[in-house]
Each structure stands twice: as structure tokens, then as C-alpha cells.
Structure 1
Amino acid sequence: MKSGTENLLEILYERVITLSNKGEWEEACHAAVAAVDKARAAVSEEEEAADVALVECLEVQGDVLRQIGKLEESRLAYLEALETAMPLGVEPELLARVTASVGVLYDSVDNDQEAIRFYERAIELYARAEMEKSEPVADICNNLGFAYRSIGNFSEAEDLFLKGLDICRHVLGYEHEKTATLCNNLGALYLKAEKSNQAREMNLMALEIRLQLFGATHPDTAQSHANLALSLSQCGEVGEANEHFLAAVKGYEKNIDTESHDYAAVVENYAEFLKISNEGRSADLLVKKAQKKLAQLNC
């Protein structure tokens, strides 16, 4: 590429990243459009390496468009990037990133089959780049696990969550929030499959990590208390289940302004647990208290 073109594209690319990091998405979108337009002009003038620059600019444009909710425009930018990249022999890591981003888009609109197709292709490309044990692959395994769970393939979902957990444990360490997330998601899967003991252990692991990382009143910690309570209930450990339900309710109450939906859900689950335990009056009082707190949010 001409030095002037290369310099301008570098400036525009860096501007998009800087604006995105600041959350200034509309301005980032304008800068991304300018970068893509300049890269397309360089391609039409047959400047050397302009095709690769166009792929990179389309990727970042797709990222920005996705963040501001223009999903179809984002999808088209990513697909153009892939179409442009295919005959060029670009680095597999770049192809993997863009392919995974398309998977995320399909995931966001609940198109599980297309999400699975692009996620699996992304994993293949990361393997080609010798990055099969990397953090991006762990993220894809987590997303892909949810997609397979959504279509009822629990065995494949379990394999993917386990693969993601193994990568996180070795790359990020045991005491990392993504490791906790994978433990949590495995626990939820086992709970749904009525594998109570396995659910109990994974939810307990997630809780231990989150308590250390975030403390007792963080919403993620409350989520782990709630999930552990459900698995303990399935295991017949009623007393411990009650303690963790209480901790979950308390945690969500501390964050009720942002976690009202989860607060309502855990109260519903706890109330059902109390009724089964012949504590109907306690269940009624719990629900009335929650209804009052939720009503105050709308005042």
C-alpha cells in the first residue's frame, strides 16, 4: 500500500478502537465507515495489501455495528470480510475472530443452527492457528455449549463446557471469573439434567471462586448461592439449601436496582422450596416482602 494510505488507515483504525473503548459508539461508527471507504478505494486502485486492510477494517466496523444494535449491517460487514479474506490466505486467527463474531450474531437472535456452524468453524480456524488452548476458544466453547443445550443436546453441551473449563483452568487459572462462569454453567446444565451431585460440586466451586473474587454481595455470588441452593435441594440437603437461598436473596436485595428480575426469580424458587418444606407462612411472608421491594422500584 502507499505510505499515505497505510498511515491514514492506521490512524482511522486506532481511532475506532479508542472511541469504542470510551463507549462513544456513534463516533466510532463514523470512523469505521471512513476506514472501510478508504480501504475499498485502495483495493480498487490495486494497492498492495489493500485487501487485507479491508478485511481488518470490515471486522472492526462489524464490531461497532454489533455494539450499537445494527445486527444485520454488522452481519453483512463480517460476511464481506470473510468473503474478501478467503482467497488471500490471511492469518487463520483473523478468520477465526470474524467467524466467531458471526456466530455471536446468530446466537443473539436465537438462530442456534447457524451459530453452531460458525462457532465450530471458528474453533477449527483457531486450531489451524495453533491457538486451540487459548482464551478465545474457551469463550467460544462456552457459547457453543449454550447453543447445544438450547437444542437439547446435553452431551455435546457438557463436552464443550468441560473443554472451556479445562482451557480456563490452565490458561487463566482456577481463581478467575471465567473459570467460575464455566463451573456455574456446568452446574446449571447438570441441574437441568437432574445430575444433582455433579451440579452441587460445580456450583460450589463457582461460589468459592466468586466469593474470593467479588465478595459476598456481588450479583454473581448471589447467582452461585441460588444455583447451589437448588442443587442442594435436589440432593436432599434441606438445611444447607435454605442457608444458600437466604444468602442469594440477601445478595440480590443489595443489588435490586440492577438485578430485579433475578431477585424475583430467586424469591419464587425459595418460596416454592419453603412450601415443599411445609413452611407455607414463611413463603407467603417472603413473597409479600419481595413484592413490596419490587413495587418501590417503580415509584
Structure 2
Amino acid sequence: MDSTKLTLLTILRDRVAHLCAEGNITEALHAATAAVLKAEQELSSDLDSIEVFALVLEVRGDLYRQLGDAEKARDDYRQAIDQLNNRLDLAEQLGRLHAALGAVHDDLENFERAIHHWEVAISYFEKTQPPSPMMIAALSNNIAYLKKSLGDLDGAETSLLIALEIFHRELGPDDDETASVCNNLGALYHQVGHYEQAREMHLMALEARRKLYGENHPDTAQSYNNLALALSETGDPELAKDHFECALDALSHCGAEIQHELVSVSENYIQFLQQSEDHQSSKKVADRVQQTLAQWA
């Protein structure tokens, strides 16, 4: 591809970026389409022309995704992947394309296809120089969510453990991403009845979130609640009660926008108290929550 034509494509691509920064996605799509058409006209066996064509297809695919046109985004990503033909020197771009194609299939509820493309994306990100551990961790977390929803709990656990190992190594134990994966692992272990493991994961998430956000934050409250549920299964009813109290207290300071979370935690707490035959305390909790909701109304 000669320099004049490459300059035109660079100008069009820069215009797309400028329009996106201004929030003018519709006009950006027109510019991206012009770039795709120009790159297609110049397409040959020359590797540079193939790379440029794949790149502008990726850019347009991203715009289609932003506009909610998943089918057109899917077609652009597929065509770009076909053009690159498994070139390992472009592993990073192929990883991005498969990650984006997986997200499109997720939007279209083609969950098995989403998992497939995310796994392929991971295989490319492992081959980049240097490797891309944060992308691998994020995609592993996405895969775990879908595998759990599809009933593949062993597969979900494996993917979450990969994500946890990377986030813990790269970001440390007190990062939000690490805490989120600990929380997800805790929920998975609770679901399959591994309550001691659930307890440890939720404790790790709670410790991180208390450092990150303090006591009166919805995420901290979520960890208090989840840990309380695990404690109620490991023979620690008093500790469970204390953590339910902390969760309610935290949420009561967060404002009306989290009233759904407050109701959910209170229902868990009331159920726990009723199972303990502490009906007086369960009534007090219900009354207290109703008073808080009334104040927010």
C-alpha cells in the first residue's frame, strides 16, 4: 500500500477517534465505514494492506457494538479474524478480536460461543510479548460467570482460580478486582456446599473492601452479608449474627439507592434468626428495616 493511501486511512481512523471522543458515534460510524471501504479497495496479498483492513474492521465492529448492532459487529470481527489468518505476530490484535467477538456472542446469548472465543482470546494473550495477564484474568472471570450459569461449576472454579492468581499477583490482595473474584469464588463454594472455603474467600473479600471503602459501603456490606451466610453454615451463629448486623448498619448509611440490597440482607438475617428460633430478634430486625425504608421514602 503506497504512502498516500495509507495516510488517507490514517486520517480517517483519527477522525473516527476524534468523533468518538466527542460522543458522535453515528458520524464516527460513517467515517469508519469509509475507512473500511477504502482499505478493502486497496486490499492485496501485501501484509500491510491486510493489517490495515483488519484494523479498520475492528474499529467499525467496536462502533457497531456501542450502537447495539451485535450482528454487524460480529460480522466485522469475523472478517478481521479471517484476514489475519492466525498470525502470531499479531497475537494481541487477534486476542482483542476474539475477546470482542466473545462479548458479542454473550450479548446475543450464545453463551457456548462466547466461552469458546474468550478461551481462544486467552490463548493469544498468552502468546503476546510480553503476555497480557490482566486481559487473561478479566476473560477468565467472564468465562467463570458463564460456566456457572450453564451449570459447569468445576469449570467455573478453575477459571476463577486463574483470575484470582493473576489479580493477586499483579494487583495485590487489597485491590477491588481481587476482592471481586474472592467474592465470586466464595459464592461458588457456598453454592456447592464447601462452606469453609466460602468463609475464607468472603473473609478475604471483606478485608480488602474494608481497606478500600471503609465500613459504610455497599460492597463492604455485601461481603459482611456473604460471610455471615457462610458462618451460619460453619457452626458460628454468634459471629454470623454480628456480621449480619454489620451489613445492615453499613447499608443504613448508604442511602435510598441501595434499598433493594437492604431488603435482601434483612431477609437473609431474618431467615437466619427464625431458623435459630429467635423470633423476637427477627421482629426487631424487620421493624428496624421498615423504619429505615420509611425514612428514605
- TM-score (normalised: structure 2): 0.86
Question: Aligned to 1:250, what secondary structure does the other structure show?
Answer: helix
| Structure 2 unaligned blocks of 5 or more | none
Structure 1 residues 214, 61: CA separation in 2 closer, same or farther (over 3 Å shift)?
Answer: farther
Q: Is the 8 A contact 2:39 2:52 kept in 1?
A: no
Q: Considering only aligned residues, what root-mean-square deviation do their CA atoms show, in Å?
A: 2.8
- Aligned equivalent of 1:41, options 28, 38, 43: 38
Structure 1 residues 70, 224: CA separation in 2 closer, same or farther (over 3 Å shift)?
Answer: farther
**Cα distance in 2 between the residues matched to 1:269 and 1:250:** 14
**Cα distance in 1 between the residues matched to 2:27 and 2:288:** 49
Identity of aligned residues (%): 35
Q: Is the 8 A contact 1:219 1:251 kept in 2?
A: yes
- Deviation larger for 30-39 or 208-217: 30-39
Q: Is the 8 A contact 1:175 1:213 kept in 2?
A: yes
Question: Aligned to 1:128, what secondary structure does the other structure show?
Answer: coil
Q: Is the 8 A contact 1:36 1:54 kept in 2?
A: no
Paired residue for 1:163? Answer: 162
Give 1:79's aligned amino acid: R
Structure 1 residues 269, 21: CA separation in 2 closer, same or farther (over 3 Å shift)?
Answer: farther
- Aligned equivalent of 1:31, options 6, 28, 32: 28
Residue 135 of structure 1: CA displacement?
0.3
After superposition, the C-alpha distances for 1:63-120 in whole angstroms (9 at most, x for unaligned) are 3333343333332332232233327776011111111122223234443211221111
Paired residue for 2:245? Answer: 246
In the TM superposition, 1:81-92 aligns within 5 A as 81-86=80-85, 91-92=90-91
Residue 180 of structure 1: CA displacement?
1.2
Q: Is the 8 A contact 1:15 1:28 kept in 2?
A: no
In the TM superposition, 1:219-258 aligns within 5 A as 219-258=218-257
- Deviation larger for 89-98 or 162-171: 89-98
Give 2:177's aligned amino acid: K
Give 2:210's aligned amino acid: L
1:189 maps onto 2:188 in alignment:
yes
Paired residue for 1:6? Answer: 6
Structure 1 residues 69, 241: CA separation in 2 closer, same or farther (over 3 Å shift)?
Answer: farther
After superposition, the C-alpha distances for 1:198-235 in whole angstroms (9 at most, x for unaligned) are 11111111111111122222222222112111111111
Question: Aligned to 1:259, what secondary structure does the other structure show?
Answer: helix
**Cα distance in 2 between the residues matched to 1:203 and 1:178:** 14
In the TM superposition, 1:124-273 aligns within 5 A as 124-129=123-128, 134-273=133-272
Q: Is the 8 A contact 1:256 1:263 kept in 2?
A: no
**Cα distance in 2 between the residues matched to 1:242 and 1:122:** 44
**Cα distance in 1 between the residues matched to 2:108 and 2:260:** 21
Q: Is the 8 A contact 1:271 1:287 kept in 2?
A: yes
Residue 141 of structure 1: CA displacement?
0.8
- TM-score (normalised: structure 1): 0.85
Paired residue for 2:116? Answer: 117
**Cα distance in 1 between the residues matched to 2:20 and 2:49:** 24
- Deviation larger for 243-252 or 207-216: 243-252
**Cα distance in 2 between the residues matched to 1:15 and 1:257:** 43
Question: Paired residues, what number?
Answer: 295
Question: Aligned to 2:157, what secondary structure does the other structure show?
Answer: helix
- Deviation larger for 239-248 or 279-288: 279-288
Question: Aligned to 1:91, what secondary structure does the other structure show?
Answer: helix
Residue 139 of structure 1: CA displacement?
0.5
Residue 193 of structure 1: CA displacement?
0.9
**Cα distance in 2 between the residues matched to 1:114 and 1:199:** 30
Q: Is the 8 A contact 1:106 1:114 kept in 2?
A: yes
